[in-house]
A and B are shown apart, each in its own frame.
Chain A
């Protein structure tokens, strides 16, 4: 069930401009800080309750630290928050060079070895 924790990180990064900027600038440090301060919170509103058992596998941690969206796809992270986070980080940079939707197309090309194959399941 640690894929749940990967999705939780992506979901929370996607909905926070501060966390998104931090993850783009310093992925490993931001991930570590998130785990220490937010990852175990049961409530989305910063309440007192904590979950005691959530963790990443070494492979998941490495994929998030290295911002490896292909690996996240292959590990079964949900495609929607994954795309949202990566587009949020890189779309504007790539658009300036490659035009509209340049990053989204690059993202797809990175996954081209999955064309014609069943995708990894996102079911938890």
Chain B
């Protein structure tokens, strides 16, 4: 059976590429140097796992999906995926990729999720947005591995409950480990810590709620799902910033990883938000 060689849970910061690649060195923030160092160190945790395929969890930011038809959970099943919408180039300077798909693994996951009562929608023509592309840029810039994209609704309330996100992560892990073959599968998900977008606390010199961020970093580093499910509610997320619902995808990833201490944990308090980087190695640390 396939094995999960690495589980990566991280924030996605669409300004990373613009700040470290497109902005002239003399105009970059002082923090961009350490930011790039931390990203490149994190990238090594994926490289060391030698994955064959990436299952990638993110959320469409009203790029392809809209209120006329917004699924709670969706999986892509296509031979290829274009990435990066015009407005992401305009706003973030995000690069474009064409990623290979893995239709067989997509189909296996879709069937397995339905069998476990996760009634997923499916897309056979999915353009991937920065919730996943950011992780390609930071963790696998060669963009040379096939992917299976999974989207969750963290945007159009009402959202699924935190415990449901966690249960979905557990199911994804189980289903991947039932996939015939000997593929090395890395499961990578991105989300947010505290974040405000389009509100009065956006684009401050730090994230809108550093206290939430510091607790969240510790919860994830410790694999402390009990504290998360006790303390994280729609109300506490909203209080930490209007876009903090992105933390739900990090809860999902802790479901994938299991209640275990991360093998790699790092974070960086930046303008607008705190970046965080976690890796678990279910088969043992290959480094």
A interface residues (Cβ-Cβ under 8 A, vs B): 4, 7-8, 11, 14-15, 17, 42, 44, 73, 78-84, 87-88, 91, 100-101, 104-105, 107-109, 111-115, 118-119, 121-124
The listed residue (A79, A84, A108, A112) touching B87 by CB distance below 8 A is A84
Please, which residues of chain B bring their CB within 8 A of the CB of A115?
200-201
- On whether the beta carbons of A79 and B200 are closer than 8 Å, the reply is no
A82-B198 in contact given A15-B85, A15-B86, A88-B91 (Cβ < 8 Å): yes
Q: Are B87 and A111 in contact (CB under 8 A)?
A: no
Selected interface stretch from B44-52, B58-66, B277-285:
B58-66
Task: Determine whether the beta carbon of A111 is less than 8 Å from that of B155.
Answer: no
Interface residues of B (CB under 8 A from A): 27, 61-63, 66-68, 85-87, 90-91, 155-158, 197-204, 238, 242-243
Q: Are B200 and A80 in contact (CB under 8 A)?
A: no
Interface centre among B27, B85, B199, B243, by most chain A C-beta atoms within 10 angstroms, is: B199
- With a CB–CB cut-off of 8 A, which chain A residues contact B61? 80
Is A114's CB under 8 angstroms from B91's CB? no
Residues in A with CB closer than 8 Å to B27 are 100
B contact residues around A101 at 8 Å (CB)? 203
Chain B contact residues: helix, strand, loop or mixed: loop
CB within 8 Å for A8 and B200 given contacts A79-B242, A123-B158: no
Interface centre among A42, A83, A105 (most CB of B within 10 A): A83
Do the beta carbons of B87 and A119 come within 8 Å of each other?
no
Expressed in whole angstroms, the Cα–Cα distance for A100 and B271 within the complex equals 12
A4-B67, A113-B200 known; 17 other A-B pairs, CB under 8 Å?
A7-B66, A14-B62, A42-B68, A73-B198, A79-B243, A80-B155, A81-B62, A83-B198, A87-B91, A91-B91, A101-B203, A104-B203, A107-B198, A108-B203, A112-B200, A115-B200, A124-B156
- Report 30 cross-chain contacts, Cβ distance below 8 Å, ordered by A residue: A7-B66, A11-B62, A14-B62, A14-B87, A15-B63, A73-B198, A73-B199, A78-B62, A78-B155, A79-B197, A79-B242, A80-B155, A81-B62, A83-B202, A84-B87, A84-B91, A100-B27, A101-B203, A104-B203, A107-B198, A107-B202, A112-B200, A113-B200, A114-B200, A115-B201, A118-B238, A119-B242, A123-B157, A124-B67, A124-B156
Per the bound structure, the CA–CA distance linking A107 and B272 in Å amounts to 14
B71 to A: closest C-beta gap in Å: 15
Are A119 and B199 interface neighbours, CB within 8 A?
A: yes
Measured between beta carbons, the chain B residues less than 8 angstroms from A100 are 27
Query: Across the interface, do B200 and A15 meet the contact criterion of CB distance under 8 Å?
Result: no
